[in-house]
Amino acid sequence: MFNRKNRKMKKIFQWEEYLNWKNMSKEQKLNFKRACLFPFLVYIVYVFLNQYSLAILLLLGLYFLIRFNNRNKLGR
């Protein structure tokens, strides 16, 4: 049912290979750097949304309210 002999599986957890930095390919190095920097990006987005979420919601509500009013004026 499952043909696993001819299929190459992509390694997801390859910590042993990350310890050999000199033997890694450029793509593996780039993927490792991205994986290490991703939590910092998530934290920056979290802080931004935590501070400005109310302002963003008010702007979106104002935008849709104006859009709704303009749509009704054009229909008359």
Domain segments of the chain as ranges: 15-75
Paired tokens of 53:
């979420």
Comparing CA positions, the residue from 11, 6, 9, 31 lying closest to residue 21 is 31
Q: Note the pLDDT tens digit of each residue in 4-56.
A: 566 666 666 666 777 788 888 898 889 889 989 999 999 999 999 999 999 99
Cα–Cα distance measured from residue 42 to residue 65, given in angstroms and rounded to the nearest whole number: 31
* Interacting residues of 11 by C-beta distance below 8 A, sequence separation 6+: 17
Give yes or no for residue 1 having a pLDDT over 60.
no
